[in-house]
Chain A
Amino acid sequence: MSQVVVESPQQLAGRHRKGRAFEWACLLATSLGVLVLVVLLVGVCVQAWGWLDGDFVSNYDSRHPREAGILAGIWGSFWLIGMTALFSVPIGVGAAVYLEEYAGQNWLTRLIQVNLANLAGVPSIVYGILGLTVFVRMFGAFPDGKVVLVSLGVATLKVPIPFGRTVLSGALTLTLLILPVVIVAAQEALRAVPGSIRNASVALGASRWQTIRLQVLPAAAPGILTGIILALSRAIGETAPLVMIGALTYVAFTPGGIESPVDVVRDPQGVVDAPFDTFTALPIQIFNWVSRPKAEYQHVAAAGILVLLIVLLILNGTAILIRHKYRKGIRW
């Protein structure tokens, strides 16, 4: 060939140098994420040092930084996430079961899937506005507001209509927020169950629901559980929708007046009242402390962040444990 491509050793060495520089740049970028995480965690720990103690966990918020505590936030988040789980698990798993086990390949199914993907990308604050209008205010349909009483023998359920700025409204809003996450995770877990199991069950005369209930769901349970835990850990950190709902920022009580696990047994009315009480949550309190001008509140905020991160660590650690344990056990 007349135009022979001749590359001198210098040119070749230059190419290799460029390649090595590029590799280093990419490595640097990758390490940036690790570095930031380390700096963040160390910074939070340093700021919280000496401020995170038993008093912090058992006190309410206070005008004096040294006396401020996160009790209201812990209990508020507890009730909030508990109720969110109560709503989102059956609805999310039910929707996933429908999409994976029952639905045909038609336009409606495709629409639902596309819709789920879009919902996942909607900013959380828009969910907050939705919750505000639908649950808290119920479109303004009950201008005077009333309370529906339901007797449970041991205690009386007092349901406010509209739901107002209660744990219930917050839980319903968060349910809608994490529903796409739960559904997608559950779908993947269901999809991982091999079709041979379903076929075998049906061949033995089981109905579709029996197959799902007795074979598919138990097999997919670890994956579904992991997905739920991860979705709930996302919900714990959500702040914006709760602000819209009206979660209070300076709060010196817990929902239902339940202040310790013992109260749950001793005060059943409190347990029944809790979902319909106004509330605060861990991230809301943190947000509030960060926003206060007094410099000491930065330390209080750091202590609150540490509590939040510990809770998340426990939750995510559990999810990973479940994932590992059952991954070893599965033998198709």
Chain B
Amino acid sequence: MDDVKKLLERQALWQKGRKSLPWPEKIRIAEGIRESILQIRGTGPGLEQDAEVLRRRRRSS
């Protein structure tokens, strides 16, 4: 039980740390989350287009 509590505390600390990231960085993280959601769903309009845009962005960065 203590392990779980410590795990949750570490997770809360990590989440709080992400609050202080710059806004554009947080938007980029949200884009990653969005890509994961779409992949988990397996379908969705624009999924291929999304993946291609992300691939291009990664190649250019």
Are A and B associated in one complex?
no
Chain A residues close to B by CB (< 8 Å): none
The interface of chain B, by Cβ under 8 A from chain A, is: none
